Structure 1
Amino acid sequence: MAQLHNLLTDVAGVRVGHATDLALGSGVTAIVFDQPAVASGSVLGGAPGGRDTDLLNPAMTVETVDAFVLSGGSAFGLDAAGGVQAGLREQGRGLQVGTTRVPIVPQAILMDLLNGGNKDWGRHSPYRDMGYAAFTAADDTAFSLGTVGAGTGATTATFKGGLGSASAVASGGYVVAALVAVNALGSATVGDGPHFWAAPFEQAGEFGNKGIPSGFSASDTAMRLKGVTLTATTIGAVVTDATLSKAQAHRMSILAHDGLARAVLPAHLSSDGDTMFAAATGLKPLEAGAHFAEICHLASIVMARAIARGIYEATALPVAGAQPAWRDRFA
C-alpha cells in the first residue's frame, strides 16, 4: 500500500482541489473521482443548502457521481458546481444521455456571508469561477487543511472553523477517509479549554495531543452557540475504496453524521444544514463478514477526527474582528 497522508486522497482514484479567497472570506473545495463512484448522502441539519442532493437517495435512478463540491457562500455558492461541471465536460466526463454527457456533481454549501470578508462581488457571484479553479487544482497528493477551500470562511461557537481530513485502514485493507468543512453552530471543543470532543479518536497528535479533561463540569457540557444564528452548517464526505451499493453508501453517510455528533456539541440543530456525502470507488471487492460494519465504524471515526483537524489547522481570517483560531490561544 502507498504511503498514507491522513487525507481523503489516501483513497486511490480521488483528487481534491481548493479555491481560496481570503479577502472574500470564502472558498470552494472539489472532490473529483477519476472514475464514476457509487454515491449517496444524507441531510440531518434543519437548514441545508445543496444541489443534486435528491439524486443521492438510494431510491433514485442515478447511482454514480463524477465529483462532490463543498462551498461557502450560502445559496450563492451553489454556482460552484457549475464550474466543476464545466471542467468535467471539457474532459468528456459525465453520464451518457443519448449523444451527450452530463457530469453528475452534487454539492453542499455552508453559510459564511457574515464573517467580515468582502462580499461585494457585483452582479454575479465568483463561485462558478472558483469551482472551476478548484477542479483544475485537484490532485491526488497531499492538500492543505484549515482556512482553505470550503473551510476558508467557516466559524464555530468558540474558534475559527476550517477544512479537515483524516483516513484509516480497515482490517481487510480497505481505506476509509473523510473530508469536512466545519462551520458548526455548536462547538468542537470542551468548554473554554483546548480539548476536542473528538480527543478519544486522535491519532499521532494530529490535533494537538491535548487528550481529554480529567473531569467534566457543568460549564464544560453547557450549550455553546454562535452569537449570530443562521450562519452554520458542517458539510463533508466519507469515501472508501471498497465496492459498495448505493444503499450501503447511504448507510455510510449516516455513520459520518455519527462522527459529526461525536465531534461537535450540539450538532444537527434547526439552523445547521449538516450534510454528509458518501462514495465508494469500488477498487476492492467487499468480502463477506463484518467488513462493511467496520467500514461504517471507521467512517464515523475519521469524520470526528477530520472535524477536530479542521479546527486545529485553521487560522483567523485577515479581517477586522475575525474570530480567533484555536492556535491563537493554545498552539
Structure 2
Amino acid sequence: MTQTRNLITDVPGLRVGNAHDGALGSGVTVALFDEPAVASCFAMGGAPATRETDLLDPDKMVPGIHGVVLSGGSAFGLDASSGVQAYLREQGVGFAVREALVPIVCQASSFDLINGGNKDWGRYPPYRELGYQAAAQAGHDFALGTAGGGYGATTANLKGGLGSASTVTSSGHMVGALVIVNAVASAVIGDGPHFWAGAHEQGSEFGGLGLLPRVSPEMRSLIWKGGPQPATTIALIATDAVLTKAQIKRLAIASHAGLARGLRFSHALFDGDTIFAAATGRKPLRDEAAEFTEITALAADCLTRAIARGIYEATALPFPDAQPAWRDLFKNNARG
C-alpha cells in the first residue's frame, strides 16, 4: 500500500474541505479538482436530491468538472454549489466563454432536516455560505465522522457521518472513496458492534473487529428508520487513471456494490443513494480491460470501507434524544 492517509485525497489531483454549523446540525463537504476531471454519476435511490447531473452523461458536451459537493440539507442544501462556484470564480477557475467564466460544480444532498438541529434559518438557508467556507478550506487532510456534510447524518440505529478510504491497484492506480453515511438502514450487524463491512477492513481502520464467523437470522432482521423519512447515502469515487466519460459512468454504476455491502440495506424507496465518479487523468491504462475492471472492483471495496469509517469516527450530536455514536456504545470493543 502506498497511500499515506487512507483518504480520497491520496488520489493525486484533488482536495477536500469541510464546513458545518453546530446549531443547525448540518454541513457541507467539497471536493475540488486541480484540473477539470472527467466525471459521471449514477443514482439508484428512489429519492435523490441532485444538481448538474444530466451534463455528466457520456453523450453530453461538458468534458470535465471543477468540483463535487456532498451536503446535508436535502433540497435546501443544493444551494451549497452556488457558494463553491463563487469561490472558484474568485480563484479564476472555470470554463471561459468569451468574457464569462463558469465553474462546473455537481452536487448531491442528504436528508438531515429532523436530527434535532435548528432549521429555522429565515428566508434563505445557510448552505451557500457553508459551501464557500468548505471550498476555501479544501486541502489534503480533513476530518471524518461528525464533520462537513456528515455532521448531521444519521442511520437507523447509530450516528452517521463522513467517511473516506483509499487503496492502490496492482497496476499502481490510486482509488479513493468519500461518503456521507445518512442511511435509512444500518451499517452494523444486528445491535453491533461488528460492521457489515468487516470482511473488507484494512488494519484497524474501523475498530479491527473483522467479520463475525456466523450471522444469525435474527441479526439479519431489517433495521430501518421506518415511515416516509428520506435518508440518503451519497458518495464520490475518484481515481488517477485516464478514463473516458463512458468508463467513468460504468465506474459510478459498479461502485454501488459498495453501498450494498456496507449497509443492510440500500437503494430503497426513500433513499437518494447517488454516487459520483471522477478521474484526474494522471496515469494511463496499459491493459485497458483488466486494469479498468480492477479499478471498478476496488472502488466498490473502498466505498464499503468508507461507510464503516464514517460510522466509526462519528460523535453524537449535542441535542436531546440524539442518536448514540458507535464509540459511545462500543469503544471498549475496538482492537487497535
2:246 corresponding residue in structure 1: 247
Structure 2 residue matching 1:224: 3-state secondary structure: coil
Answer yes or no: is the 8 Å Cα contact 2:156–2:225 preserved in 1.
yes
Which string of whole-angstrom CA distances, capped at 9 and with x for unpartnered residues, describes residues 62-120 of structure 1?
Answer: 12100000010011101000000001101111122233221000000000000000111
Separation (CA, whole Å) in 1 of partners of 2:303 and 2:279: 16
Deviation at 1:47, TM superposition (A): 0.2
Question: CA contact under 8 A between 1:13 and 1:281: conserved in structure 2?
Answer: yes
What are the Cα deviations for residues 262-308 of structure 1, in whole angstroms up to 9, with x where unaligned? 10111000100000000000011111241111111111000000000
Q: CA deviation at 1:227?
A: 4.0
Consecutive unaligned residues in structure 1, runs of 5 or more: none
Match of 1:257 in 2: 256
1:291 partnered with 2:296: no
Letter in 1 for 2:273: D
Task: Identify the range of structure 1 (89-98 vs 272-281) with the bigger mean alpha-carbon deviation.
Answer: 89-98
Q: Does the Cα contact within 8 Å between 1:26 and 1:150 map onto a contact in 2?
A: yes
Task: Report the Cα offset of residue 193 of structure 1.
Answer: 1.9
3-state DSSP class of the match of 2:196?
A: coil
Which residue in 1 is equivalent to 2:334?
none
Matched, 1:314 2:314: yes
Equivalents in 2 of 1:73, 1:281: separation in Å? 28
TM-score using structure 1 length = 0.97
SS of equivalent residue, structure 2 residue 105: coil
Match of 2:126 in 1: 126
Aligned position for 2:145: 146
Distance in 2, Cα, partners of 1:8 & 1:224: 29
Q: Hey, what does 1:103 align to over in structure 2? A: 103
Measured in 1, the distance between the counterparts of 2:226 and 2:3 equals: 42
Deviation at 1:203, TM superposition (A): 0.4
For the 8 Å contact 1:37–1:281, the answer to whether it is kept is: yes
Cα distance in structure 1, aligned partners of 2:39 and 2:3? 26
Contact 2:242/2:282 (8 A) holds in 1? yes
CA RMSD across the alignment: 1.2
In 1, Cα distance between the equivalents of 2:227 and 2:147?
Answer: 22
**Change in CA separation of 1:94 and 1:225 when aligned onto 2, cut-off 3 Å:** same
Q: Using the alignment, how far apart are the partners of 1:3 and 1:306 within structure 2?
A: 15
Amino acid at match of 1:230: Q
Quick one: distance in 1 between partners of 2:317 and 2:286? Answer: 46
Specify the alignment match of 1:276 in structure 2. Answer: 275
Return the alpha-carbon distance in structure 1 between the equivalents of residues 2 and 85 of structure 2.
Answer: 30
| C-alpha separation in 2, matches of 1:5 and 1:313 | 15
Give yes or no for contact 1:11–1:240 (8 Å, CA) kept in 2: yes
C-alpha contact 2:2 2:168 (8 A) present in aligned 1: no
> Following TM superposition, by how much is the alpha carbon of 1:9 offset from its aligned partner in structure 2, in angstroms?
0.7
Structure 2 equivalent of residue 116 of structure 1: 116
The answer as to whether partners of 1:312 and 1:327 remain within 8 angstroms in 2 is: yes
More displaced 10-residue stretch of structure 1: 96-105 or 316-325: 96-105
Instruction: Note the C-alpha offset of 1:2.
Output: 7.0
Query: What letter matches 1:128 in structure 2?
Result: R
1:236 aligns with 2:249: no
Task: Note the 1:1-80 alignment, pairs <5 A.
Answer: 4-80=4-80
Whole-Å separation in 2 of the counterparts to 1:58 and 1:309:
32
| Equivalent position amino acid for 1:185 in 2 | V
- 1:323 is matched with 323
- Choose 119-128 or 228-237, whichever is displaced more: 228-237
1:106 match: secondary structure: strand
How far the C-alpha of 1:154 sits from its partner, in A, is 0.4
Give 3-state SS (helix, strand or coil) of 1:330's partner: helix
Asked whether the equivalents of residues 114 and 231 of structure 1 are also in contact (C-alpha less than 8 Å), the reply is: no
Would you identify which runs of 4 or more consecutive aligned residues in structure 1 move more than 4 Å? none
1:209-251 deviations in whole A, cap 9, x for unaligned? 1122221111111111014542300001000001000011111
- Correspondence 1:193 to 2:192: yes
**Residues 44 and 275 of structure 1 are in contact (CA less than 8 Å); yes or no, is this contact kept in structure 2?**
yes
Instruction: Name the counterpart of 2:176.
Output: 177
The more displaced of 279-288 and 125-134 is 279-288
Percent of aligned pairs with the same residue?
58
- Structure 1 distance, partners of 2:222, 2:191, is 12
Cα deviation code 1:140-179 (max 9, x no counterpart): x221100000100000011100000000001111100000
Matched to 1:280, the amino acid is A
TM-score by length of 2: 0.96
